[in-house]
Amino acid sequence: MDLKSLIRDIPDFPKPGIVFRDITTLLSNPEGLRYTIDLLAQNCQEAGLKPDYVVGIESRGFIFGTPLAYQLGAGFVPVRKPGKLPAAVQGVEYQLEYGTDRVEMHQDAFEPGSRVLIVDDLMATGGTAAATAELVQQIGGELVGFGFIIELRALGGRQKLPNVPILTLIEY
C-alpha cells in the first residue's frame, strides 16, 4: 500500500513556505489505518524491540501508540503538555525555534528498567522526541527505539536522538 498517497499536502500551512503533511486523510481510511499500525508493529518485531511500554507523544502519538501497544502486548503511556496529567509528574523543557516547551509524564508510569518505545506521527527537528527520550531515561526506562509514521529527513531530527533504532514508514 502506498501510504504517501493517503497523506494530504497542505501548502503554506501554518505559514508561507511550509508544506503541512496532513494525516487526517490516512486516519479516515480504514485500510490505510490498519496497514499503518500493522506495518509499524511488524517493523518493531523485525527490529527485535520488544517494548514493555509504548510512550505516545501528545497528541497524534496517542492515535498510533495505543493500537501499536495493543498489537505488541505492551502498556501505553501518554506524554503530555504541562498541566494535563493528574498525578505527580516528571518534566523536561526543550528548545523551540522561538522559546521553549515542556513535556511531562507520570513519575510512576513504568518501573525502572522497563523497555520503552517512543511513538509519534511525525519527526521533524527531533526536539520533542529527544525531550521525551530524556524524560523516559530520567524515570529509569530503557529506551529501545522510536517509531514515526513520517520523517522529514531534511530537518535533521535523527541527529538529536539517542543511538537506538528509529523506525519510519514514510520519508519526505
Catalytically annotated residues: 60, 97
Rounded to an integer, what distance in angstroms lies between the CA atom of residue 31 and that of residue 3? 10
Q: At what angle do helices 60-72 and 30-46 cross, to 10 degrees?
A: 60
Tally of residues, the chain: 172
Compute how many other C-beta atoms are within 10 angstroms of the C-beta atom of residue 91.
17
Q: What are phi and psi of 78, to 5 degrees?
A: -85, 140
Q: Which residue has the cell 530520567?
A: 138
8 Å CB contact between 138 and 158: no
Closest CA to 127 of 164, 159, 166: 159
Cell of 8: 494530504
